[in-house]
Amino acid sequence: SLRKAATINPSHEEVKALLEKTEPLTTPVPEPQAEPEAEGAEPARPKVRHEWYQTDDFVILEVFIKRVQKDAAAVEFGERAVSLSVKMATGSENNYDFDPLQHNIVASESTFEVLSTKIEIRLKKAQPGVKWSHLEQTDEDQAAKSLSQLGSSRKGVSWDTIAADAEKEAKLKPSEQGVNELFQSIYRDADPDTRRAMMKSYVESNGTSLSTDWSSVGKGPVETLPPTDTFAKPYSS
């Protein structure tokens, strides 16, 4: 190396010049410091390997944590959620929440068992025989749920009503037909996120809002925006 050559012949000018040029390149670069978590930010779920499979009656969730004492694990079952709390040997406590699940469960008939290499959680299906495609609900599940609500919403909308509305639409003025055709064209040609945004915003706003921006609509419920000088009245069955 150049440093070794300089040790052998310290008076060699060419070696000294090369060494001066290369030394700044070998200066260690400080490692970037991790940014502190923002205040109020929701803590991320601790990373742990888990797998699941199902039978006609149960969904079996396996959380792979070794050497957990039987009295150090606790599981809470909800109608559509399960929460696992584990006290580690170090004294810390880790929580693993699966919420919302894709389908409802029977909390009173769900159980768990602590084994040597894992914690096995047995979730009793509320609808035996129904196959789960995911453990937790996805955006696609939510969109499908919103679509089904069009057929049986709290306003009593039925497919017969929708068919009748379609017949009325055929009798609309040309200008009104153009607006409806525009919306239909946007939905037909849109990507999945845009379709989800349109469906979610229209259903949750009770038909008072229509958005194509999933990044905004997907953050939470869409507010009902009644026309000026009117107000939204809660529906009571």
In this prediction the pTM is: 0.47
* Whether the Cβ atoms of residue 49 and residue 62 lie closer than 8 Å to each other: no
Confidence at residue 201, expressed as pLDDT on a 0 to 100 scale: 82
- Residue whose structure tokens are 């009245």: 233
Confidence at residue 186, expressed as pLDDT on a 0 to 100 scale: 77
Confidence at residue 136, expressed as pLDDT on a 0 to 100 scale: 93
How confident is the model over 119-167, as pLDDT tens digits?
Answer: 999 999 999 999 999 999 988 877 776 666 655 555 555 556 666 666 6
Confidence at residue 48, expressed as pLDDT on a 0 to 100 scale: 87
Average pLDDT for consecutive 10-residue bins of the chain (237 residues)? 51 58 50 55 69 96 93 96 92 92 96 96 96 90 67 53 64 57 74 84 80 84 74 58
